[in-house]
Amino acid sequence: AATGALKNLSVDEESKAEMSRQDGLRALVELLKAPDMVVVGKSAECLGNFALEQTYRIHICELKGVELLLALLEPGTQEEARLAAAGAILNLAVEEACKEKIRSLGGISKLVSLLNASLPLTLRAVVAMTVTNLGAQEQCALAVAEAGGVNALIQCMGKPTDDVLQEKAASALWNLSAVDSIKATVRKAGGIPFLLSVFEFSTFVPALENCLGTLLCLAETQDNRFAIAQAGAINLLIKLMESEHPTVVEKAAGVIWNLAHEETVQHTVRQLGGMKPLIGLLSSDSPLIRFNAAGAFPLLTEQEENVSDAFELGAVRPLVELLATETNVLLLQNVAQALGNIAEGHQDYQQVISENKGLQRLADIISKWAPTNENLEACIEKPDWLNRQELLAKCCFAVWLICQKNEVNQVTFCEVDGIAGIVKVLRPACCETLLEMAAGAVCALCEGCGRNKDRFREEGGLEPLISLLTHCCDNVKLNAAKALCHLSENEENRR
């Protein structure tokens, strides 16, 4: 009765503090050795309540509570006491020191054995949650894999199971899959079909989210991308993008983004009707959904058939709108590259991008992010300097392909003051990719366009462009030479 009362009191902060001052934690740890399993179970539950706070977790660990709790996981322990001990270990496993203690004491193999399909679903779910906490530390994650934990967690996805166990097992697999070597282990253990089966047969949103999170990690490797696609994931993911739950939509789009690094997937997404819902997500109210949807487009538009599909389905307008409304550098990079891919070699597509103010938006971004003489040194010292240069490079790439052999667009870019921004990035301090793209843009803007040749000179672009002829990168020198070839057709420029 006393331990039961203490268990109830241990949910109250003031009571916990008073019990701690009276050395109650030591007494509770000692009670884990009691012959009465009811007392042991209540003591473990009480310690689990204390373990919700960092100070108490460390103290329980110092009192050798972890050792005694792990001992209660052995076969033969009364079911309620074993569940209480597992719950306490779950809360302790949040602490880094406790993770290490559990691993060093061989606790991980004991926990993995409790994922067995013959044991109660509740116990297996608690253990899966514990593995989630342990899996946040790489050494523990590797120990879980070595103990057969990956296969055991995958089996939790199939019968006998329930929504909660599937959710917790998928959460554990998500954390474990963050470790590169375990990505392959999940695939080889047959985990991918089990994860996809949840999409087919479950409507439990937390389980869906965790399965998608696991696939996000798994899809970071090529072998896994092929395996996921071949298992029929694309069709399921396209359906999930139409879910009423934003977190599900966000992660489904994210998995498609990762998978789209493969050419076969790029085609499959189009063939299964995935382009239309992805385009719709570009206008979502959720920033994360927009981010993931936009991320897929530079990859999907590598294929000519996808470019035609995206254009016909109206992708240009929402992509251009993102250039005006977003501030995330990576998202803007992806949008700029996608627009460049769409424009390449299609004069009618180039024109539609321009009519939707695409060139003006690109000019605005270049002007905003390009360094000036006054702030160049400060820009270089900022941690986002590399990302900023990549954004500028992608924008120059887009300008290049939108204006190439298109006199109307060449003039439009001049009229929105875009050339001044291009000149700003022709600096030796900029990376070679940015200089290559900027020089290529100058080449496209000035080819056959007398107005732009004059404007480029008036903006002071000739001198920095000439200096690029001695750059160490051959592609930079080549594009600079081509641009100067066009510029030198103007008599005033030759002088």
Alpha carbon distance 166, 173 (integer Å): 10
Total count of domains within the chain: 2
86: pLDDT strictly greater than 50: yes
Last residue in a domain, options 48, 74, 105: 105
Q: Is residue 319 part of a domain?
A: no
Q: Is residue 186 part of a domain?
A: no
Last residue in a domain, options 105, 124, 155: 105
4: pLDDT strictly greater than 60: no
Q: pLDDT value at position 377?
A: 78
Alpha carbon distance 265, 303 (integer Å): 11
List the domain range (segments joined by +) for residue 52.
1-105
Q: Is residue 260 part of a domain?
A: no
pLDDT category of residue 24 using cuts at 50, 70 and 90: confident
Written as six digits, the tokens of 490 are 């103007």
Report pTM. 0.92
Domain containing 386 — which CATH number? 1.25.10.10
Q: pLDDT value at position 5?
A: 45
Q: pLDDT value at position 417?
A: 95
Last residue in a domain, options 105, 134, 169: 105
Q: Where do we find the tokens 């020198």?
A: 477
Give the C-alpha distances (Å, rounded to integers) separating 425 from 261, 331, 394, 422, 472.
30, 21, 12, 6, 17
pLDDT category of residue 10 using cuts at 50, 70 and 90: low
381: pLDDT strictly greater than 60: yes
Condensed to tens digits (0 to 9), the pLDDT of residues 171-184 reads 999 999 999 999 99
What is the torsion angle, in degrees rounded to the nearest 10, for the CA atoms of residue 150, residue 153, residue 157 and residue 160?
A: 130
Alpha carbon distance 223, 218 (integer Å): 9
Report the Cα 275 to chain-centroid distance in Å. Answer: 20
User: Residues of the chain with pLDDT > 70: what percent?
Assistant: 97
Instruction: Output DSSP code: residue 148.
Output: T
Written as six digits, the tokens of 56 are 């108490």
Q: Is residue 79 part of a domain?
A: yes
pLDDT category of residue 12 using cuts at 50, 70 and 90: low
pLDDT category of residue 1 using cuts at 50, 70 and 90: very low
Q: Is residue 95 part of a domain?
A: yes
Q: Is residue 150 part of a domain?
A: no
375: pLDDT strictly greater than 80: no
For the chain, what's the residue count? 495
Is-contact 218 183, C-beta < 8 A? yes
> Which residues, 6+ apart, have CB-to-CB distance to 373 below 8 Å?
none
Greater confidence (173 vs 492) lies with 173
Is-contact 317 282, C-beta < 8 A? no
Least confident interval from 145-159, 172-186, 366-380? 366-380
Give the C-alpha distances (Å, rounded to integers) separating 159 from 118, 145, 190, 292.
11, 21, 15, 33
Q: Is residue 430 part of a domain?
A: yes
Q: Is residue 100 part of a domain?
A: yes
Q: Is 434 exposed, middle or buried (0-12, 13-18, 19+ CB in 10 A)?
A: buried
40: pLDDT strictly greater than 50: yes
